[in-house]
Structure 1
Amino acid sequence: MTSQSTADGVGTSARRPDAVAKVRGDFAYSSDLWHDEMVWGATVRSPHPHARILSVDASAALALPGVHAVLTAADVPGVNRYGLERRDQPVLAEDLVRYAGEAVAIVAADTPALARRAAGLVHVGYAELPPVTDAERALESPELHEGGNLVRHLRIRRGTPHQADVVVTGEYEVGMQDQAFLGPESCLAVPDETDGVDLYCSTQWLHVDQDQLADCLARPKESVRLTLSGVGGAFGGREDLSVQAHACLLALRLGRPVKMSYGREESFSGHVHRHPARMRYEHGATRDGRLLYVKADILLDGGAYASTSPAVTGNAGCFAVGPYEVPAVEVDCRAVYTNNPPAGAMRGFGAVQVCFGHESQMDKLAAALGLDPVELRRRNAVDTGSVMATGQRVDGPAPVAELLRLVAGKPLPPPAGDDLRLLPGGTSNSTRAAELVRGVGYALSVKNICKSAGYDDFGTARVRMYAHEGRPAAEVHTAAAEVGQGLVTVQAQIARTELEIALVTILPADTAVGDAGTSSASRQTWISGGAVRAACLAVRATLLERAAGLLGEPAADLVYGSTVSSPTGRTVELAELLAMGDVDETAVFRHRRTEELDPETGQGEAHVAYAFAAHRAVVDVDPELGSVRVVEIACAQDVGKAINPVAVEGQMHGGIAQGLGLAVMEEIQVRDGRILNPSFTDYLIPTTMDMPPTVLDILELPRHDSPYGLTGVGEPPLLSAPAAIAAAIRDAVGGAAAGALDRIPMTPEAVATAVLGSLAEGGAR
C-alpha cells in the first residue's frame, strides 16, 4: 500500500490506502484466498456441552471419493493444547468435550460442500456428562479442569470503609455479546518442501499465533511462517486460534494447500465472546454526595477455556469503581470455568461490564441523595494526581469533569415528529409520537491503554529508505495487524512526517519481522507507531551521518529535510545520499514498565496510562410496547493527539454502535450450554436505521510519555455507551420500573414488564 502526499502526515485526515478497494468490493479478505492445488477443510464439532468421547469412526467419510483425510487428536504431532494465557484448550478434543461446538476432528476434501458432507459422516460416540452452565454454582461443581473451576480471583483492598450517611446497593447483569465481525474465520495453509508451512490468515497477533502453532505442529518457529491476510473486523474475537492449527495440520499431512473458511453459524462456535457478568455493588456516601466507599463482587462466566479470562478479570476488577475518587475500596472479581461457550477478549475487555454496574449505582445514589446525576459525577470525578482503586496515581491528563461538562452542555434534540422511521420500532409497529416518553442518561468510563501488570509490551518496525526513479521513498514493515482500524494509514502518516517524503509503502504484515504485539488494548498506534517513528529517526540519523561525510561538517549541526542543510548554507539532496545505498533500520519501542498487582491487596503500578470518555444518551420509549429508539448519543473523549482525526471519529462511531447493540439488542442466547441464535437473523446487531445522530467532542491533551502525546482511542467510545443508554431508558420509564431494569441488553420485553410492574405497584398502593 503506497501513499503519495507529504501533506498526509500526522494530524491530518489522510485517506486510507485500502479505502477505495473496500468500497468497491475489490479488497482481498482472507475468505478470498486461493491456491490452484488447494483442498478444503471442515470441522467436526461436538453437539454436547459436556461429554466423554468414546469413539471416532471416520470410515464412512473416508469412503467418499474426493475425501483425503480425517484427523483427530491422535494426529496432532506436538502439544495438543493452545491458549493465550493458559494452554488449556485442545487443538482437537481428546477424551472430553467441554462445550457445544468444540472441535473433535477435521476433514479435508476436494470441495467445501464435500468437506462438510464428510464431516457429517464422521461418527463420534459420546457419553454425556452433566454440564456446568451456571457461573454462580461453578465453584461448587465438579471440576472441569485440573485445579478447579476458578480461573482467577482478583482481590482489591484499599482504605477502611467509614459509616456512610446514604448507602445504595444493586445487582446487575450483562449478557454475552458477540464481536459480530463481518468476515468469518478463514485461512490458507501452504506446506513447503522442508516440512514447514506458510499460513495466510486473519488474526490480531501474528507472533502469538506462531508460538502456539509451532508447539502444536512440533515444528521450529522459523518453519511456521504467518502472513496477515485481509481482516474483516476483529474486536478481540481473533486473538485466539480458530482455523489456524487445523488448516496447518491438514496441509502438512497431505503435502498440499488447505483452505478453511467458516460459515456464520460455525463462526459463533469458533471464537470467544464477551464475558457474561453478574455484579453486586454497594456504594456509601456523605449527604453532600461524596463517595466514602465502594464494595463490588463481580462474577465473569469464562466458559469452557481460559482464553483471556485472567486479563479480563484484571481489568474488570481494576475499573470496577469507575473514574471516581473513592477513599475505601473492596472489590472481588472472579472468572470461572463452565460448560458454556468460551469467553475472552472483546473491545472494552472487562471494563464495559463493570461500567454498567458502577454507573447504574451512581444514578441510584443520585436519586437517593436528591442530586442531579451529572452533579454527583462531577463532585467525585478523578483528575490528574487522583489515586485509583489500585493505589496508582493518574499521572496523565484526566479531564473527566470537562468531558462530562461537554456532553451535558449539548442542546437536546427536538421531540419526535410524525416520521415513522424515527419512532421506536420504525415503520413496523403502531407507536405514535404522542405516546412516547423521553429519557436522558449519562455515563463516565475509564480503562487502561496498552498491556499492563508487568507485561513486556513492545513493538518492532523496520524502515527502509531508498531512491525510486530519482525520488526518495520508504518501505515500512511491521507485524502489526490491520484489522480495520486504519493502522496502515497511521504508519504511513508517521513515516511521511518523520522522513519528510511523499512515497511510503506499507509492506504486508508477517512474522519475517519482529513481534508487534496484539491489535487490542488500544495499543497499536502507541506501540507500533512508536516503533515506526523510532526506526524513521534511526534512518534520519544515518542519512545525516552520510551528509556529514559529504559536507565535511558534524552531523549534529545539520538540519534534515527534503534536502540536508548545514549552518554555512551548503546542502545535499536526499536522492544523492540514497544513491550511496539504501538505508535500512530496525527499531524496538517499549512503554514504561508496569508491575503486577499485589495478590492480597490488588495494589500496584499496573497500568501505563488511562483513557476516559463520557456519554450522554437520549432515548424515546414506548412504555406499552417496551420498544426503544436511541435518539442521539453525545460522546466526549480525550485522545491526546488525533493522528488521523477522521479515523478517530470513525472509531467513536463504531464504538457507539457496538455499545448501542449491547444496550438494547445484542445477546447470544445460551440454554443448557447451547447457542440458540447463531446467525445474524436471530442475533441482532444495529443497522443504519438503528444508529442515531452522534455529537462528538475530541479533546487533544497530550501525554508526556507517548509518541506525539497520543492516547489510545479504540475502546473508550464503547465503554460507557451502554450504561448511558440504560440510564436514559430508566429515566424515561421512571419510578419503580427503573429499579427493575438492572440487566443489559434491555429488551422490549424487559422494559414493558418493568413498566407493568411499576403500574401494578402503584395500583396496590
Structure 2
Amino acid sequence: MERRTTTETAAGSGRLSGLGESARRPDGTLKVTGEFAYSSDLWLEGMLWGATLRSPHPSAWIRSIDTGPALAMPGVFAVLTHEDVPGEKFYGLDIRDQPVLAVDQVRHQGEPVAIVAADHPETARRAAAAIVVDYEEREAVTDPRRAAFDPSCPAVHPRGNLVRHQPVRVGSTFEADVVVTGEYEVGMQDQAFLGPESGLAVPAEDGGVDLFVATQWLHVDQDQVAPCLGLPKDKVRLTLAGVGGAFGAREDLSMQVHASMLALRTGRPVKMVYGREESFFGHVHRHPARMRYEHGATADGRLVYVKAEILLDGGAYCSSTPAVVGNAASLGVGPYEVGNVWIDAYGVYTNNPPCGAMRGFGAVQACYAYESQMDRLAAACGLSPVEIRVRNAVSQGSRLATGQVIDTPAPLADMLAELAAMPLPPPASPDLRALPGGVAQTTHGEGVRRGVGYGVGIKNICFSEGFDDYSTARVRVELAGDEPHVLVHTAAAEVGQGLVTVQAQIARTELGIGRVTVAPADTAVGSAGSSSASRQSYVTGGAVKTACEAVRARLDALRAAHPDLSLEEVLERFGPVEETREYRHRPTFPMDPVTGQGDSHTQLALCVHRAVVDVDADLGLVKVVELAAVQDVGKILNPLALEGQIHGGSAQGLGLALMEEIQVRDGRVLNPSFTDYLIPTILDMPPMRLSILENPDPHAPYGLRGAGEPPTLSSTPAVAAAVRAATGLDLPRVPIRPEDIALAPAPAAGAQSAM
C-alpha cells in the first residue's frame, strides 16, 4: 500500500507534466481572472434571445393559452407552445415522461408552458409574461409517503406514482441482543452551480441545428433533442460550451430543445440564459429522503441484521430516479459486514420539483441514515464510534448486501485507525471571531461546546446495473511545424473536474510527446457517456490510454521498419497516425427485482471523515473547526486536482449537514435564490487534513479509483455526529437548523444521546 498526503504533493512542470504530477489546468488562469468564456458568454451577430413562461402552480389543468398579446409586442419573432413541437412531445433520461412544453396539464411549479424569441432579452421576458394561460388548479400530491402507499392518492402520472421499488433480501435472522431503531430525513439539496443553464442554437443550411451548450452528456442530449425536433441525429450537432459547474443537474435537458425550436422557427441563432431564480426551477435537485432503520447486533457490537425502508421523492418526472433507488438499495447498509438484510427502497412521483442526479446520488441519503445508526449502536453497546465501525468494517473479500464480492483492496479498518490517530485541533480560542457566529453573536461563548464525529461512506463508481458504460477517444499524432503534436478528441464533458488536464497527462505519459491539445468535446466523435458517477477518469481515461497505445504500436512498427528515421521524419514521410478506440469496464448486472442480488457495480470507493465542531447551544450556531479525511483513490493521477475534488465533495457534504435545503411547501419553492438558499463559503469551510491512499484496482486503468463523490457521502454524517456529540440531541434530520438546536428540549440530566 502506498500513501500520498497533502504535504507530499508538488506542482507539476507545466505542459510536459504526465501522470502523477499536478499539471496546470489550461482553463485555470482564465477562470480566476474572469476571462474564461462560459456558455452564457456566447454571442453571434443577429442572434435572438429566448425566454420561457413557467407554471406558477404545482398541479393544474391547462384550459387555454393565448399567445396573442406576446406576438403583438414589437421585437417578438416567435411564441411557441406544445402545438409547435415539430417531433415527439416528450423526453426523459430513463422514461420519456417529461413534455417539451406542457400539453394539457402542469405537474410542478416552474414547468415550461411556452417559449418566446425576441430581439432583446428583456423584450423576451416581457413577452413571456404577457402570455395568458387559463389554469384550473387541482390537488397537488406533495407527501411522498402518501404517494407511495395510499391507494386513494391521486396519480401524478397514468402509470401510477411508484417509479421503482427495489427490495434487498438476505438471510432470515432478525433478532439480536442489542437493537436500535431510528427515523431519518434528508432535505432537498440543490447542486447550486454558479453558471446557470445557457446555450446558443444556430440553424444550419442542411435544415439541422448546431447547439452550443453547457451539459454533462452530449450524446444523450442529442438522443433526446433530435426526436423532439423531428430530425435525424446527424442533423443535431452539439458542442460543449464553457460549463460553470454541474454536480448532476446538467444530466437532464433544460433549454436545449427550446432554443433549437426557436432557432429553427425563426431561422436565426437563439440564445437562452436562465437567471438564478429560473435556474432553481429549470433543473433537477437531490432527492429528499425519509428513512426508517433498525440495526441488530450482538452485545459486543457485531452486526446481526439491518432492516431499512428508504423512501425517495422523485418529484414530477422520472429523470434518474430508478438509478438513485438502485444505489440507495444496494449500498443501504454501508461498508459493513452483515449477514441478514431486509431493505425496501422506493422512488415515487409527486408534484414537488423534479429530482435526479446529484453528486453521490442515492448513496448520500442512505449513508446519512446508516451512519447515524452506527453511532446509536455504538452508544448502546458501550463502544466508541470508531470501534463499532472497525468491528464491522468490510475488507477485500467481503460481500455487499447484494451478494457482490469486494474483489479489490478495501482497507476500511486501517483507514479508520489512521483517521482516529490524527491529532485533534487545539481547544477553542476565546477570540470571538473564532466562535460560532463570530463577533455578530449575542453571547460570549458561554454555551459553546465542542463535539467530534465520524462518518464512513461507500460509493459505486461508473454506471451500474448492466448499463452499457463506455467512452470513445480519437488520438492523432502529427507534425505541427517541426515538432510532434498529439490531438485528443472525446465527447467527455469538462464540468470543472479537470478532465481535460488528465486526458492530456495520459497522452503525454503514453506517447512521450509533450505537445498535446485536447479538442473541444462534441458529438462528432463517439459517445463518452456522462460526466457523472465519478467515471470519466476511468472510462474516458481508459479510452484515451487505449487509443494512445494503438497509435504508439503503429508508430513503433513504422520506426522498427525504418530505424534510420526519427519520429519527426516518420511523421513527415508517412503522415499523421490516428486511432479511435472505445473502452468499456467489466460488465455489471441488474439487481434481482425480488431479492436485490447481483453484481450491480463495477468499482467501489471508500472515504472516511472526522469532523470537529463548536456549537453555541443557546443560539443554535455551528462552526466546523476541522474536517479530516482518509480516502483510497487507487492511483493518483493529478495530486492537486484530486485534493480539490475531496475538498469540494466535503464542502457539499458540510452544506447538506448544516445549511443547504430547497424549502418546498405545498409543492411551491420558497427560496429560489442564493440569498435564501445557503451554500458554504470560504468562511464556512474549515482547514482540512487529508491522507490519500493508493491501493490500485487491478481492473481499472492505471489502478485508479473514481474520487469525486465519496467525500460527499461521509462528510455529512460526520458533521451531524459532531453536532450531536456537542449537544446531546438526537437531530435525526439534515440540514440541522439553528432552531433544531436552540429550541430543542434539553436532554435529561445525566442522559447520553442515543446517537
- Scaled to the shorter chain, the TM-score interval is over 0.9
CA drift at 1:7? 4.1
2:242 aligns to what SS in structure 1?
Answer: coil
| Most deviating of 750-759 and 212-221 | 750-759
Q: Is the CA contact 1:423–1:431 (under 8 Å) kept in the aligned structure 2?
A: no
Gapped runs of 5+ residues in structure 2?
A: 1-11
Q: Is the CA contact 1:50–1:130 (under 8 Å) kept in the aligned structure 2?
A: yes
Q: Is the CA contact 2:14–2:24 (under 8 Å) kept in the aligned structure 1?
A: no
1:138 matched to 2:147? The reply is yes
Determine the structure 2 residue equivalent to 1:554: none
Q: For 1:340, which of 331, 345, 352 is the aligned residue?
A: 352
Equivalent residues in 2 for 1:123-134, closer than 5 Å: 123-134=132-143
CA drift at 1:407? 1.4
Determine the structure 1 residue equivalent to 2:91: 82
Determine the structure 1 residue equivalent to 2:3: none
The share of aligned pairs that are identical, in percent, is 64
What amino acid is the match of 1:722?
Answer: T
Q: For 1:61, which of 70, 74, 80 is the aligned residue?
A: 70
Determine the structure 2 residue equivalent to 1:536: 548
Equivalent residues in 2 for 1:3-152, closer than 5 Å: 7-139=16-148, 140=150, 141-152=153-164
1:145 aligns to what SS in structure 2?
Answer: coil
CA drift at 1:430? 2.4
Q: Is the CA contact 1:450–1:457 (under 8 Å) kept in the aligned structure 2?
A: yes
Distance 1:688 1:419 in 2: 19
2:539 aligns to what SS in structure 1?
Answer: helix
Determine the structure 2 residue equivalent to 1:373: 385
Q: Is the CA contact 2:559–2:566 (under 8 Å) kept in the aligned structure 1?
A: no
What amino acid is the match of 1:497?
Answer: T
1:742 matched to 2:740? The reply is no
CA drift at 1:484? 0.1
1:575 matched to 2:534? The reply is no
Q: For 2:192, which of 177, 180, 186 is the aligned residue?
A: 180
CA drift at 1:23? 1.0
Once the two structures are superposed, residues 128-165 of structure 1 have per-residue CA deviations (whole angstroms, 9 ceiling, x without a partner) of 01000010111321111121000100000011124200
Distance 1:746 1:28 in 2: 37
What amino acid is the match of 1:15?
Answer: R
Distance 2:322 2:28 in 1: 36
Distance 1:751 1:670 in 2: 22
2:356 aligns to what SS in structure 1?
Answer: coil
Distance 1:293 1:190 in 2: 58
1:410 matched to 2:422? The reply is yes
CA drift at 1:470? 1.1
Once the two structures are superposed, residues 295-348 of structure 1 have per-residue CA deviations (whole angstroms, 9 ceiling, x without a partner) of 000000000000000000000111110000000000000010000000000001
CA drift at 1:431? 3.5
Distance 2:471 2:480 in 1: 28
1:720 aligns to what SS in structure 2?
Answer: helix
Q: Is the CA contact 1:236–1:345 (under 8 Å) kept in the aligned structure 2?
A: yes
1:266 matched to 2:278? The reply is yes
Q: Is the CA contact 1:6–1:500 (under 8 Å) kept in the aligned structure 2?
A: no
Determine the structure 1 residue equivalent to 2:743: 753
CA drift at 1:415? 1.4
Determine the structure 1 residue equivalent to 2:4: none
Distance 2:431 2:636 in 1: 37
TM-score, normalising length: structure 2: 0.96
Change (3 A) 1:688 1:87: same
Distance 1:537 1:275 in 2: 41
What amino acid is the match of 1:87?
Answer: R
2:562 aligns to what SS in structure 1?
Answer: helix
Q: Is the CA contact 1:172–1:357 (under 8 Å) kept in the aligned structure 2?
A: yes
CA drift at 1:373? 1.1
Determine the structure 1 residue equivalent to 2:660: 666
1:433 aligns to what SS in structure 2?
Answer: coil
| Most deviating of 418-427 and 373-382 | 418-427
Change (3 A) 1:654 1:189: same
Once the two structures are superposed, residues 105-137 of structure 1 have per-residue CA deviations (whole angstroms, 9 ceiling, x without a partner) of 000111110000000000000000100001011
Determine the structure 2 residue equivalent to 1:564: none
Equivalent residues in 2 for 1:277-288, closer than 5 Å: 277-288=289-300
Distance 1:5 1:134 in 2: 54
CA drift at 1:626? 1.1
Gapped runs of 5+ residues in structure 1?
A: 552-570
Distance 1:328 1:694 in 2: 37
Determine the structure 2 residue equivalent to 1:289: 301
Distance 2:556 2:751 in 1: 79
Q: Is the CA contact 1:733–1:755 (under 8 Å) kept in the aligned structure 2?
A: no
CA drift at 1:434? 4.3
Q: For 1:690, which of 660, 684, 696 is the aligned residue?
A: 684
CA drift at 1:754? 2.5
2:287 aligns to what SS in structure 1?
Answer: coil
Equivalent residues in 2 for 1:317-716, closer than 5 Å: 317-551=329-563, 572-579=565-572, 580-716=574-710
Change (3 A) 1:726 1:649: same
CA drift at 1:758? 5.0
Distance 2:254 2:440 in 1: 39
Distance 1:400 1:613 in 2: 8
Change (3 A) 1:760 1:731: closer
Determine the structure 2 residue equivalent to 1:555: none
Q: How many residues align?
A: 737
CA drift at 1:582? 0.4
Distance 2:362 2:434 in 1: 33
Once the two structures are superposed, residues 415-435 of structure 1 have per-residue CA deviations (whole angstroms, 9 ceiling, x without a partner) of 121333321112221242343
Distance 1:26 1:421 in 2: 35
Once the two structures are superposed, residues 37-74 of structure 1 have per-residue CA deviations (whole angstroms, 9 ceiling, x without a partner) of 10000000000000000000011111110001110000
Distance 1:126 1:399 in 2: 58
Q: Is the CA contact 2:296–2:306 (under 8 Å) kept in the aligned structure 1?
A: yes
1:252 matched to 2:234? The reply is no
Q: Is the CA contact 1:623–1:755 (under 8 Å) kept in the aligned structure 2?
A: no
2:285 aligns to what SS in structure 1?
Answer: coil
Change (3 A) 1:726 1:191: same
Once the two structures are superposed, residues 576-612 of structure 1 have per-residue CA deviations (whole angstroms, 9 ceiling, x without a partner) of 1111200011010000011111111000011101000
Distance 2:504 2:36 in 1: 19
What amino acid is the match of 1:88?
Answer: D
Change (3 A) 1:758 1:306: farther
2:354 aligns to what SS in structure 1?
Answer: coil
Distance 2:90 2:251 in 1: 16
Q: Is the CA contact 1:636–1:696 (under 8 Å) kept in the aligned structure 2?
A: yes
Q: Is the CA contact 2:255–2:272 (under 8 Å) kept in the aligned structure 1?
A: yes
Distance 2:481 2:431 in 1: 59
Distance 1:728 1:695 in 2: 16
Q: Is the CA contact 1:417–1:433 (under 8 Å) kept in the aligned structure 2?
A: no
Q: Is the CA contact 1:669–1:676 (under 8 Å) kept in the aligned structure 2?
A: yes
Distance 1:189 1:576 in 2: 43
What amino acid is the match of 2:668?
Answer: R
Once the two structures are superposed, residues 261-284 of structure 1 have per-residue CA deviations (whole angstroms, 9 ceiling, x without a partner) of 000000000000000000000000
Distance 1:662 1:168 in 2: 24
Once the two structures are superposed, residues 611-638 of structure 1 have per-residue CA deviations (whole angstroms, 9 ceiling, x without a partner) of 0000000000111111111100001100
RMSD: 1.3
| Most deviating of 413-422 and 208-217 | 413-422
1:334 aligns to what SS in structure 2?
Answer: strand
What amino acid is the match of 1:634?
Answer: A
Distance 2:527 2:257 in 1: 20
Once the two structures are superposed, residues 15-40 of structure 1 have per-residue CA deviations (whole angstroms, 9 ceiling, x without a partner) of 00111111111100000000111000
